[in-house]
């Protein structure tokens, strides 16, 4: 309304009835860093950009090749290659197949193994929503040589530390992601994996907006006894900075992401049908039908069948071929759990709140584990007396299936930050209040502004308390907000333009250990 009234009449003056409020920030927005077959949409490249998506269909449209791909793109299409490698003795690790009295390990060409695509599928299968994708490059060429030792971890020479670090650095410009995930980090060498994890923790500690979910090298194919070496290597590889922003899960999980239609003869022996023939049409037991199908694959007729038709025919003609495909599927479906955990976090936050621990729940699509941990096995994962770095176990329980059985950060020795729920709740509160307080930048540094800030923050925290995010019988027990001259500020702060706000909260912690006491009582008369 005009300050000087010169014309007679009636004037109205609108007064705000409600003060500013704190808008809760999103708590489960993962950022995936890794390799994709392409990163292009409507003629624009999306490599080395943080691209926000809201569905798997969006991911496919931008980062996957057309289905079916154009002939020129066939070499770039995601196509893991597996080989049957004869072993002198029965392998104690990894998947193997017994054929004609011989044992064959199912081993990949390591340069054809990538995890990002299937991790995104796991994320959405487990209830994921918004996510950021940072594609750092396309798939590299196959080496044409498989692993020969089933005890060796897969290392893809096409996955480069410099690429992944460049993608990580791009996220410094994005404040919305709350989880950093790099599924292909386990395909690096141990030293490069160490550098990447330390970089992720340092960036998370600096930005204070996201946690990092790590996978453990060796978790895909653990030794039944010496798997503890992989655990120790992981603990030695995470450094000492930002541990309260790090979360790890072990082991990998056997999934149902890849179905029978996703793997065929083009994924075997680098597409060399001649190497497949001795298994489906051996000289000792000829299979003319299988031989005819293989000939059609090698020399297509005038009206060739599609790969899916040839695959179906070969499965019918050769039971051995069906066994080979099933074993390859089982190996290809063993994936790092980080992508699935991001989806679990999303559902957890939607249904129970970020202050609830994402544990004692199942993983959709997880059907097996490469190693079954016992209570005594988990003791060494959950609490480590030397490093204090906790690793969350994924375990199988009779009658319950596969459950996430841990809720700790890597900072297991810290009384303040040992629990995932506490770390993520504090990040949620800090960032929500920080963004809301920006509305008061350049406001007068006086009692009115202090009162408005205190009222706004107190109202927000009261809402969190009512939802169960803070403990206490009343709001005064759950939190305290202080701001003003003489309590949080000095005269020098006023002259320097500072408003200092102190917020104390009683965060809910998980009931990790439940102790039930039993005592016998003597029978009494009456």
pLDDT tens for the chain, 526 residues long, are 556 788 887 777 776 656 677 888 899 999 999 999 999 999 899 999 999 999 999 999 999 987 655 444 444 445 899 999 999 888 888 888 888 888 999 999 999 999 999 999 999 999 999 999 999 999 999 999 999 999 999 999 999 999 999 999 999 999 999 999 999 999 999 999 999 999 999 999 999 999 999 999 999 999 999 999 999 999 999 999 999 999 999 999 999 999 888 899 999 999 899 999 999 998 888 999 999 999 999 988 888 888 889 999 999 999 999 999 999 999 999 999 999 999 999 999 999 999 999 999 999 999 999 999 999 999 999 988 888 999 999 999 999 999 999 999 999 989 999 999 999 999 999 999 999 999 999 999 999 999 999 999 999 999 999 999 999 999 999 999 999 998 999 999 999 999 999 999 999 998 878 788 888 888 777 6
Q: Please tell me the predicted confidence (pLDDT) of residue 2.
A: 55
> By C-alpha distance, which of 393, 414, 419, 415 is closest to 404?
393
H or E element at residue 230: helix 227-236
Rounded Cα–Cα distance for residues 189 and 199 (Å): 15
Dihedral-angle region of residue 472 (phi above 0 means left; psi in -120 to 50 means alpha; beta otherwise): left
Phi-psi sector, 94: left (phi>0), alpha (psi -120 to 50), beta? left
Domain ranges of the chain: 30-73+114-257+333-420, 79-113+264-328, 444-526
- Angle at CA of residue 425, ends 421 and 431, nearest 5°: 150
| Assessment of whether the complete model's pTM goes beyond 0.85 | yes
Look-up: residue for tokens 């695959």? Answer: 311
Q: Identify the pLDDT of residue 68.
A: 55
Q: Would you state the CATH architecture of domain 30-73+114-257+333-420? A: 3-Layer(aba) Sandwich (3.40)
Closest CA to 270 of 389, 145, 395, 384: 145
CA–CA gap between residue 132 and residue 365 (Å, rounded): 22
Query: What's the confidence (pLDDT) of residue 71?
Result: 43
What H or E segment, with its residue span, contains residue 30?
strand 30-35
């Amino acid at each position: 309304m005009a300050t000087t009234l010169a014309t007679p009449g009636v004037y109205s003056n609108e007064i705000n009835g409600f003060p500013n409020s704190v808008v809760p920030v999103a708590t489960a927005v993962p950022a995936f860093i890794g390799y994709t077959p392409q990163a292009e949409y409507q003629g624009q490249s999306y490599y080395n950009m943080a691209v926000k998506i809201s569905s798997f269909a969006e991911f496919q449209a931008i980062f996957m090749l057309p289905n079916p791909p154009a002939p020129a793109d066939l070499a770039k299409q995601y196509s893991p290659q597996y080989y049957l490698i004869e072993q002198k003795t029965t392998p104690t690790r990894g998947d193997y197949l017994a054929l004609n009295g011989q044992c064959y390990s199912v081993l990949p060409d390591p340069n054809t193994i990538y995890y990002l695509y299937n991790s995104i599928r796991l994320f959405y299968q487990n209830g994921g929503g918004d996510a950021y994708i940072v594609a750092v490059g396309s798939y590299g060429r196959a080496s044409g040589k498989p692993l020969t030792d089933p005890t060796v971890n897969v290392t893809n020479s096409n996955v480069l530390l410099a690429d992944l670090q460049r993608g990580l650095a791009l996220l410094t410009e994005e404040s919305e992601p709350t989880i950093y995930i790099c599924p292909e980090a386990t395909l690096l060498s141990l030293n490069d994996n160490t550098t990447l994890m330390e970089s992720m923790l340092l960036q998370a500690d600096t930005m204070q907006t996201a946690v990092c979910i790590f996978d453990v090298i060796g978790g895909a194919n653990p030794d039944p006894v010496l798997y503890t070496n992989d655990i120790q290597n992981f603990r030695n590889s995470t450094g000492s900075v930002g541990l309260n922003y790090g979360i790890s899960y072990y082991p990998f999980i056997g999934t149902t992401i890849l179905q029978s239609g996703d793997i065929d003869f083009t994924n075997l022996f680098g597409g060399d049908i001649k190497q497949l023939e001795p298994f489906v049409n051996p000289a000792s037991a000829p299979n003319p039908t299988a031989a005819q199908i293989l000939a059609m694959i090698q020399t297509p007729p005038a009206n060739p069948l599609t790969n899916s038709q040839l695959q179906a025919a070969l499965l019918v003609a050769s039971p051995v071929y069906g066994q080979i495909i099933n074993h390859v599927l089982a190996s290809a479906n063993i994936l790092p759990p980080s992508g699935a955990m991001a989806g679990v976090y999303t559902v957890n936050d939607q249904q129970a709140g970020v202050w609830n621990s994402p544990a004692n729940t199942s993983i959709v699509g997880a059907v097996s584990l490469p190693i079954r941990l016992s209570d005594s096995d988990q003791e060494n994962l959950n609490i480590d007396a030397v490093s204090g770095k906790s690793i969350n176990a994924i375990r199988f329980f009779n009658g319950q299936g596969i459950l996430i059985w841990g809720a700790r950060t890597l900072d297991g020795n810290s009384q303040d930050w040992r629990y995932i729920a506490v770390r993520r709740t504090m990040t949620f509160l800090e960032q929500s209040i920080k963004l809301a307080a920006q509305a008061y930048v350049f406001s007068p540094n006086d009692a009115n502004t202090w009162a408005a800030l205190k009222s706004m923050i107190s109202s927000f925290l009261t809402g969190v308390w009512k939802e169960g995010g803070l403990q206490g019988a009343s709001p005064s027990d759950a939190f305290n907000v202080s701001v003003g001259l003489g309590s949080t500020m000095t005269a020098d702060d006023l002259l320097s333009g500072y408003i200092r706000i102190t917020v104390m909260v009683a965060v809910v912690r998980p009931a990790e250990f439940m102790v039930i006491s039993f005592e016998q009582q003597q029978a009494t008369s009456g």
